[in-house]
Amino acid sequence: MNTGALIAILAFFAVLLAIFGSIYFSASKAAKNGEISPKGLRILQLGLIGHITILLLLLITAFLT
């Protein structure tokens, strides 16, 4: 296992979740108030899932070196 790579990818993960999460949180509040379309919120959800999938795959590489 490559500890350095693991820490670096987890740090990327944390930053991504913090930034994406804060924007998603404000968007979900706006969706509840009817300010934005539920489909727009769905796009953000799929975007988050997609980024998490790519980062999880990248995380696997830390265990291959």
Q: Which residues contact other proteins by CB under 8 A? A: 2, 4-5, 8-9, 12, 15-16, 19-20, 23-24, 27, 30-31, 34-41, 43-44, 46-47, 50-51, 53-55, 57-58, 60-61, 64-65
End-to-end CA distance of the chain: 6
Q: How far is the CB of 17 from other proteins (least distance, A)?
A: 11
Maximum separation of any 2 CA atoms in the chain, in Å: 48
Please name the amino acid found at residue 25.
F
Q: How far is the CB of 23 from other proteins (least distance, A)?
A: 5
| Minimum CB distance to other proteins, residue 31 (Å) | 8
Query: Can you read off the two tokens belonging to residue 8?
Result: 């670096």
